[in-house]
Each structure stands twice: as structure tokens, then as C-alpha cells.
Structure 1
Amino acid sequence: MAQHNPHHNLGTVLSFEFIRTVTKGRFWIGTLSVPIIIAVVFGLIFLSNTTTDTAADAQKSAQFSISYTDASGLITAADAALFRATPAASPDAGIQAVQSGAVDAFFDYPAQPESTTVRVYGADQGIFENGKYAAVAQALLTHAVNQKIDSPQLSALAAGQVKIETVTYDGTQESGGLGSVIPPMVFLVIFYGLIVLLAGQMLNSTLEEKENRVTEMILTTLKPTTLIAGKVIALFGIGLVQMLVFLSPIVIGRLFFPEELSLTALDLPPLILDPVRMTVGLLILVGGFALFTTTLVAIGAVMPTAKEAGNFMGVMMALIFVPFYAVALVISDPQSVIVQIFTFFPFSAPVTALLRNGFGSLSLPEAGIVIAILFVGAAVMLRVAVRLFQYGSISYTSKVNVRTALRAGPRRPSADKPPTTPGR
């Protein structure tokens, strides 16, 4: 029998799996939908903010006839004249003037506007246009108060226009606050994106050959370990492509819209890149992705059809969302028993550990244990996947008995002997 170069075979599997996936239209539809949706959302938010600011400015400067009463004595004749407002004889008279159409709006300022509601009455001009009445009433009162203060500095303080910077310390070291939380939390977002988009691909990577009845032919020229390892590595490459695509809106936004997407515009604190937490986050991301990939590949090796495998994929997807039911506890009491279980249980560990790493409650010893669990778990599941695929590769109509497959010795279809299905 001809000898086959295992490195050549691995490269063949890698290139085949990678190229087969990235050349499919549905792969790019799913992958590109994420950055497109992000770009559309940011665009709508930016457009909405611009429109809202323009509308608010327009409403404050809107021109319409106004009458008012002022029990507080804050508004002078000069203030009212600036807004072309005229005094009303009484609140009832002001309301009647609006009802009769004599004026467009009537403002009733109480004796203590800081604690009592200011009443605004106006002619109905539609739900969007009616907002101008309250905007002008507020602008008139603010102008009058600023005139009373007669100091730009005190006016700014009274309006709450004060920049406050908070510095916190963890012992003698300055802690980063929100600015140190955001960067490592990016790994959690990437983890969710990769698992949600690639879970089906992971599951089907071994099912396609089984459903097409070609596994016994493939295994006559390839070792099961080479085949499964090639598929897993190819999935890592596909995940890397998707990760780069996910980050593309941020890169493009920073290059072409630096002011709109600046931290100041988003009202965010300066970002602090802690090399330790970023390294831990990256290792947890890679380990968690490897564990879920090998596990889903193993499930695909057990199941005869994609339909039956879909039920197990739902369970796997649920496991990565379970920690969010206790997210408040994860943040406020990371040493509680339930959080510790979520942290070290392999299939909830990636999300829980990434959350804790982002908020700075994951110690280095704990991080080391979690990373070891994930990588060792991925290696074990890779071995299990190989054994299950080797045993159940030709079980086309029934689910493989996992216990029997793991206890059985390695089996490989032969080109000289027709394969038989286990259990028949």
C-alpha cells in the first residue's frame, strides 16, 4: 500500500475545509451581516443624534406667539420681550386665549419652579411639533435665571455643566474603572459572535461526509486523527476570518469618522489596555473556542443526521448563556459558590471567566486554572471526537453508543472488506 505523507494529508484537509467554507455564499452572508448591522446601527444612532440636536435647537428658537404668567418673579419684562412673550391676566385667561386661537402657547410658571411643575399649554400641531412649547418654556426660564445670576461661571455650575473625573485605587495602584473593563470584554463579544455563527459549521463538519456516505472512502487514505484535526484547525482559520470581519467596522469608523466615533463623542473614559488581562482574555477566548469546536465536532460524529444533532446543539448554545442569568452575582459577588461553579465548569467557564476578567475579579491563579481546564478539555474532546468518528463514521442510520465507542478498540474501514454498521 502506498505511504501517505501525514503533513500533506493534513494540509489537504485544511485547504479543502477552509476553501469549501469561505467560498460558500451563505458563509459570507452570515459573516458580513454582523458588521453591516453594526454599521447600520451606528449610522442610525449618529443620524438620530444629529437630527435630535437639530430639532431641539430649532424648537428652542421656534417663533410663535406666547403669553405667560410668572408667580416666581424670575422672568423680567426684558426676558419676556426677548422671546416675544406677553403677560396674561391670569392662568385661566391664558388657557382661554390658547383655546380661542388668540395665542399659540401659554406658559404658567409657579412660585417655586424648582419643585413645582411648570404648566405649558399650546395649540396642537402634531406630536412632533408640540415639543417646541416645552423647549421654549425651558429656554425662557433658563435665560431668566442666568440673567439673575449674572455670572457665566455660576450659570454653568447651576446648569450642571461640570466635568468630574473619578480616580479609584486598588491598594496603592490606580484602578482603571470602566476604561479598563471595555477592552477585555471585547473578547466576550467575539466569543459569542464566533460560536453563534460557526456552531452549525462545527456540527456539520463531520456530518456532511456521513450523510453523503463517503466516510469509509476517506478513511482508507486518511487517519481519523488527521481528518478531525484538519477540520478543527480549518474552523479556527474560518473563525479568524470572521473575527477580522467583525472588527472591520471599528477600524473603518476610526479611519474615516474619527470624531464621531471618538471616546469623547461616545462619552466613554480613556481605554486602558492591561497586558495581563488582555492576554488572559485572549487565551480564554482561544481555549473556549477550541473546547466548543471539538465538542460539537464530537457530537456530529455521534449523530447520523444534522436534524438529530440540532437538538444537542441547542443544549450547547444554552450553556454559554446560562452565566448571564447570574451576571449580577458574577459582578457583585464573584466568590459565591454558584459563580465559582460557573467559573470552573468547562462549558460555562469561557463566558463566566471572560466576564470576571473584564471586571477585574479573576485572579491570576484562577485564570491559570480556567485556561488549563479549557485547553485540556479541548485536547480530551479532540481525542474523543477522533474515537467517535472512527467508530461511528459508517453508522448512517442510528446514533452511536458513546460508551461502547469509547471502550471499543480503534476501527478503520478497509477497502477489501465491506464496512458494517455497529449494532446491526
Structure 2
Amino acid sequence: MNNIFLITKREFLTQVKKKSFIILTLLAPLMIIAFGAVIGMMFKANESHISIQVVDNSGIFNNQLKSDDKIQYEFIPSAEEQSKLRTLKSNENLDGILILPALASNNFDDLEKNTRLVVNTKIGFDTKQRIVSDITNVIKKEKIKQLGIKETQLNDLDKNFSLKTINVSENNKEDSDLAHGIKSGLSMILMYVTFMFIIIYGVRVMRSVLEEKNNRVVEIIISSVKPFELMMGKILGVTMVALTQFIVWISMSVIGALILNTSFNSVQTNIPGGNDTPLSKLDVPQIATQISHGLLELNFPLIIFVFIVYFLLGYIFYSSVYAAIGSAVDNETETQQFTLFAILPLTLGMYGSFSILNNPDGPVGFWMSIIPFTSPVAMIARIPFGVPAWEIALSIALLLGTTVFMIFLAGKIYRVGILMYGNKATLKEIWKWIKN
């Protein structure tokens, strides 16, 4: 046991003392935020801003097509249509001319068939759909007007129905659309982080084992410690490195949410309708405070506890597999035939968990969060939505038992494989190592 502790300590200190680890741990959250901001700026910079002149021969679109920051409509007389078309190609201040034909006998089908948009540049698909939507809304209003329905009645017909959901299993707490969106977003983030870190740090263990094996350093180490102690020391050492990063990142996230939440009350008083206001009507600071407030309303102690437990058990489980693979082969090329055994169950758990977002308590979500091969990802995806305590206890018990069994199997493979050179390991040969 003392040897395992010494090896764990060595692996941990070797990693955390590196400048790259310290910089990455502190800057990674800021880099992610900056990356998201850059992506948002790229979308913003690539938005189209076009100027359209409208020739309305029907007489129903004038003052009905409203300009905004993306599309600028300018109505011109029908007599200028031909001259504008002739100079359109060389006109750098104009992107297109929308020609709306005369409306004969209220035949809107003919109007649609003969409407043309002549452009001198390529316009985006979303811009074209926006123009189509603007025209459709005007035609819809005109048709309803002909039916004798007033605009106020039309607005009343188009009014969305807001359904409040009260969850009696959560102390009659109201589950709003914003809350569901926050839970779904948090679920996807936790799920993806767990998936990526198990693979990244698992591969790190495998490469570390493979490097020591190829350098014959392991022959010296094995003379002082047992192979099982060496394997567990490596796994636990890298586990502590990953856990250290998570603790720092979780702390930074909670502190950031608390700072944003301090301004929530003051921001909320300036929002008509408070929490019921759609996000589309809020600016960026208001959205950030709404989201941070929603996050802090979740059961964060339970979420963090479950996240850490499942990450640790899942990581130890799959790292044992990776350590066994590293000891059984002589180079990274040969690892490809075995790493699928670790990657496929995790991938199944991650992509299968997307269905959990729509139905967290469904049969797929339940069984994937119970089966140990997929539970490290699936249970973390479910936990923001709330999971019964007995399901969490059962899942942890099964995962813990399977992890101990996997460590036992990996230890038997590691004991023989770490000192094998020149022989290409096969599944049949590995099976013999396990049985002996």
C-alpha cells in the first residue's frame, strides 16, 4: 500500500509541477469563454446587411415590409423599374430589386408565381428566407383582412399559450422553459467533459505504461514494487491530476455564477415581466444573469458530488483497461485493435445520452445510467434533471463493483504483459494471462 502511495505521489507531482499544467488549468476556462466569444463574433461579422429596393405593383406591401438592421427596404415607383434594373449590376449601394406584380382578382397564387428578386450579389439562404417570411406575413394579414378579421383579433389568435409546469416531486417548484434549457445545457457540458477527460487521461496512462515498457525502465521498477502496485499508482496519480483540474474549474465556475448572480435582482427589476421575459428580448448581460441565477437554483452539491464520483470511478474503470492495453503491446500502432473496447461503450453512452435530454426518466436513460459501461456518462447527463436516490445508489454500487473487478482483470494482464517483449499479443493469449 505504501508503494502505491509513493508511485501515486510521484505521478501526481510530476504532472502538476509542469508549467503547462498550471497555465492550462488556470487559463482553460478563460480560453473556452474567449473561444465562444470569437465564434460569436465570427457569426456576427458574417451577418449579411443588404439593401433592397421594392417595386410594389400590387399596392398592398407599401409600408408593410419593415426594415431592420439586416434588411433595408426602399419602395420606388413602378416607372423606375426598368432603369433601376439596367443600372443594378454597377450599383454598389444596392444589392437587389424586389418586383411584386399586380394583384388581380385577389389571386395570391399568381402573385407568388410572378414575384422576382433580382440581385447583383450572392445573398445568404437565411436572408432569402427572411425576405420570404416578410412577404408571407404581409400576404397573411391581407387575406385575414379580406375575411373581415381585425388586426387586434389576429394578434390575439397568434398569441402563444404559456403553460406553467409544477413538479410535486421537487417541492412544487415551477419548471420553466429557461430552467429546462439550463439543465439541458449543463447536462451536455458535464457529459462531454466526462467523455473527453476519461479518454484523454486514459490514453495518457496507456502511453506512460508503454513508454516505460519500451525504455526497459519498468524492469528496474518491478524489482522494487509489484506490477499491480505500479499500475494502481499510475492510475491514481493521473486521477488526482484530473481531479485537481476539476476542483479548480468548478470553483471558478461557481464563483463566476455567484458574481453574476449578485446583479440579478437589480437586472430583474428592469426587465418587464421578470423571469417570464423571453431570452430573445434580453441583452447579453441580462441573459448571463438569468442563466447564472438559474444555475444556482439547481442542487449543486448533489450535482458536483455525483459528477466527481462518476468521473473518478469511470476514469479508474477505463484507465485500468488502457493500462492493460499499454502493458500488452509494444507500440502505439498495436493499441488500435484494443482501444475500441474502451472507446465504443463510452461513445455509445455519450450519443445515447442525447435522447435523455427529452426524457430523462425514460427506459433508455434509466438503463444507460445503471449499466456500468455507460453509467459514467449517462448518469451525469441525467443528474441536472433530478434522479431518485435509490437509482444513484444502485448505479454507484454496480459501477464500483465492476471497477474493482476490472482492476483485478487489468492487474493480471499487466503482471504478465509488462515484461513481454517482441510478441504480438492476441485476445487468445490475453485470455490465458487472465486465467493463470
TM-score class, shorter? 0.5 to 0.7
**AA matched with 1:42:** G
Counterpart for residue 172 of structure 2: 173
Distance 1:220 1:283, change over 3 A: same
Across the aligned residues of Structure 1 and Structure 2, the Cα RMSD in angstroms comes to 5.2
Distance of 1:116 and 1:45 partners within structure 2:
40
Shift of residue 286, structure 1, vs aligned partner: 2.3
Shift of residue 42, structure 1, vs aligned partner: 1.3
SS in 1 for 2:343: helix
Counterpart for residue 375 of structure 2: 349
**AA matched with 2:224:** T
Out of 288, 291, 296, the residue aligned to residue 317 of structure 2 is: 291
Counterpart for residue 234 of structure 1: 237
Out of 270, 287, 292, the residue aligned to residue 294 of structure 2 is: 270
Distance of 1:265 and 1:253 partners within structure 2:
10
Aligned-residue sequence identity (percent) comes to: 18
Gap runs ≥5 in structure 2? 89-93, 146-150, 264-282
SS in 1 for 2:408: helix
Higher alpha-carbon deviation: 161-170 or 218-227: 161-170
Out of 333, 343, 347, the residue aligned to residue 307 of structure 1 is: 333
Distance 1:46 1:134, change over 3 A: closer
Shift of residue 219, structure 1, vs aligned partner: 1.9
Contact 1:98 1:122 in 2 (8 A): no
Deviations 1:212-237, CA, capped at 9 Å, x for gaps: 22323212222334322221111112
**AA matched with 2:220:** M
Distance of 1:194 and 1:349 partners within structure 2:
15
SS in 1 for 2:372: coil
Out of 227, 230, 233, the residue aligned to residue 224 of structure 1 is: 227
Counterpart for residue 121 of structure 2: 126
Contact 2:192 2:350 in 1 (8 A): no
**Larger Rg: 1 or 2?**
1
Deviations 1:352-392, CA, capped at 9 Å, x for gaps: 333333444x4322221111122222223233333333333
Out of 376, 379, 388, the residue aligned to residue 413 of structure 2 is: 388
Listed as ranges, the matches of 1:9-408 within 5 Å are 9-21=3-15, 38-39=32-33, 41-51=35-45, 56=49, 59=50, 62=51, 66-71=54-59, 73=60, 75=62, 85-88=75-78, 94=81, 96-101=82-87, 105-108=97-100, 117=112, 121=116, 124-128=119-123, 138=134, 166-170=164-168, 173-174=172-173, 176=175, 177-243=180-246, 260=284, 263=287, 270-271=294-295, 272-274=297-299, 275-324=301-350, 326-327=352-353, 330=356, 331-332=358-359, 336=363, 342-360=368-386, 362-398=387-423, 399=425, 401-408=429-436
Aligned length: 379
Contact 1:182 1:358 in 2 (8 A): no
SS in 2 for 1:126: coil
Contact 1:13 1:231 in 2 (8 A): yes
Shift of residue 264, structure 1, vs aligned partner: 5.3
Gap runs ≥5 in structure 1? 1-5, 409-424
Distance of 1:133 and 1:205 partners within structure 2:
54
Contact 2:202 2:315 in 1 (8 A): no
Deviations 1:75-116, CA, capped at 9 Å, x for gaps: 479x99x97634427xxx84x454334997344275588997
> TM-score, length-normalised on structure 2?
0.65
Distance 1:325 1:10, change over 3 A: closer
**AA matched with 2:376:** P
> TM-score, length-normalised on structure 1?
0.67
Query: Which has the larger share of helix?
Result: 2
Distance 1:383 1:315, change over 3 A: closer
SS in 1 for 2:167: strand
Distance 1:173 1:66, change over 3 A: closer
Distance of 1:156 and 1:268 partners within structure 2:
37
Distance of 1:222 and 1:345 partners within structure 2:
34
Contact 1:67 1:86 in 2 (8 A): yes
Distance 1:122 1:133, change over 3 A: farther
Deviations 1:39-62, CA, capped at 9 Å, x for gaps: 464123321454467x55xx4xx5
SS in 2 for 1:270: helix
Distance of 2:130 and 2:189 partners within structure 1:
41
Deviations 1:133-159, CA, capped at 9 Å, x for gaps: 9769959x98xx8xx9xxxx9699589
Contact 1:277 1:357 in 2 (8 A): yes
